[in-house]
Structure 1
Amino acid sequence: MDRRSILKNAGIAGVLAAGIAPAVHAQAAVRWRLASSFPKSLDTLFGGAETFAKAVRAMSGGKFEISTHAAGELMPAFGVVDAVQQGSVEMAHTAPYYFFGKDEAFALGTAIPFGLNSRQMTAWMVEGNGLKLMREFYARYNIINFAAGNTGAQMGGWFRKPIKSVQDLKGLKFRIAGLAGKIMERMGAVPQNIPGGDIYPSLEKGTIDAAEWVGPYDDQKLGFVKVAPYYYYPGFWEGSAQLDFFINQKAFDALSAENKAIVESAAALAHVEVQAKYDARNPGALRQLVASGAKLTAFPQDMMNQAFKVAGTIYEETSAKNESFRKIYADMSKFRAEQNLWFRFTEMSFDRFMQSQKL
Structure 2
Amino acid sequence: MDRRGLFAGAAAAGTLALATPAVAQGALPEVRWRCASSFPKSLDTIYGAGEHVAKRVAALTDGKFQIRVFAAGELVPGLAVADAVQTGTVECAHTASYYFVGKDPTFAFDGAVPFGLNMRQNNAWLQAGGGREMLREFFNGYNMVSIPAGNTGAQMGGWFRKEIKTVQDLSGLKFRVGGFAGNVLQKLGVVPQQIAGGDIYPALEKGTIDAAEWIGPYDDEKLGFNRVAPFYYYPGWWEGSLNLSFYIARAKYEELPQVYKDVLESACRDSTIETMAKYDVQNPQALRRLIAAGTQLRAFPREVMQACYKASFELYDETAAKNAAFKKVYDHWRAFRDSQYQWFRVAESGFDNFGYFMQAQEQQQRR
Secondary structure of residue in 2 paired with 1:72: coil
Larger radius of gyration between Structure 1 and Structure 2: 2
Secondary structure of residue in 2 paired with 1:274: helix
The CA deviation at 1:18 is 9.9
The CA deviation at 1:192 is 0.2
Cα contact 1:148–1:268 (8 A) shared by 2: yes
Deviations 1:195-232 (A, max 9, x none): 11111111011110000011111111111000001000
User: Unaligned regions of 5+ residues in structure 1, if any?
Assistant: 1-16
Identify the residue that residue 30 of structure 1 maps to in structure 2: 31
Report percent identity of matched pairs: 55
Paired with 1:23 and 1:242, the residues of 2 have a C-alpha distance of 33
Secondary structure of residue in 2 paired with 1:152: coil
The CA deviation at 1:261 is 1.3
Aligned-partner residue type, residue 213 of structure 2: E
Deviations 1:286-325 (A, max 9, x none): 1000001110011011111111111111000000000011
Q: What is the total number of aligned residue pairs between the two structures? A: 343
Secondary structure of residue in 2 paired with 1:326: helix
Give the 5 Å matches for 1:1-359. Answer: 21-25=20-24, 26=26, 27-358=28-359
The CA deviation at 1:20 is 7.0
Secondary structure of residue in 2 paired with 1:357: helix
Secondary structure of residue in 1 paired with 2:150: strand
Aligned-partner residue type, residue 169 of structure 1: L
Cα contact 1:149–1:242 (8 A) shared by 2: yes
Deviations 1:30-65 (A, max 9, x none): 110000000000011100011111111111111111
The CA deviation at 1:28 is 2.6
Aligned-partner residue type, residue 205 of structure 2: E
Deviations 1:318-351 (A, max 9, x none): 0000001100011000000000000011111111
Paired with 1:18 and 1:318, the residues of 2 have a C-alpha distance of 54
Aligned-partner residue type, residue 220 of structure 2: D
In structure 2, relative to structure 1, the CA distance for the partners of 1:18 and 1:241 (3 Å cut) is: farther
Paired with 2:337 and 2:180, the residues of 1 have a C-alpha distance of 18
Paired with 2:176 and 2:276, the residues of 1 have a C-alpha distance of 23
Paired with 1:305 and 1:259, the residues of 2 have a C-alpha distance of 46
Identify the residue that residue 10 of structure 1 maps to in structure 2: none
Paired with 2:177 and 2:17, the residues of 1 have a C-alpha distance of 44
Cα contact 1:20–1:61 (8 A) shared by 2: no
Q: Where does structure 1 differ by over 6 angstroms across 4 or more consecutive aligned residues? A: 17-20
In structure 2, relative to structure 1, the CA distance for the partners of 1:18 and 1:283 (3 Å cut) is: farther
Secondary structure of residue in 1 paired with 2:184: helix
Cα contact 1:20–1:60 (8 A) shared by 2: no
Aligned-partner residue type, residue 342 of structure 1: W
Paired with 1:299 and 1:122, the residues of 2 have a C-alpha distance of 26
Cα contact 1:149–1:243 (8 A) shared by 2: yes
Cα contact 1:37–1:76 (8 A) shared by 2: yes
The CA deviation at 1:19 is 11
Aligned-partner residue type, residue 296 of structure 1: L
In structure 2, relative to structure 1, the CA distance for the partners of 1:19 and 1:179 (3 Å cut) is: farther
Secondary structure of residue in 2 paired with 1:98: helix
Paired with 1:91 and 1:295, the residues of 2 have a C-alpha distance of 40
Paired with 1:135 and 1:201, the residues of 2 have a C-alpha distance of 38
Paired with 1:75 and 1:137, the residues of 2 have a C-alpha distance of 24
Cα contact 1:24–1:258 (8 A) shared by 2: no
Paired with 1:169 and 1:19, the residues of 2 have a C-alpha distance of 62
Aligned-partner residue type, residue 151 of structure 1: T
Secondary structure of residue in 1 paired with 2:358: coil
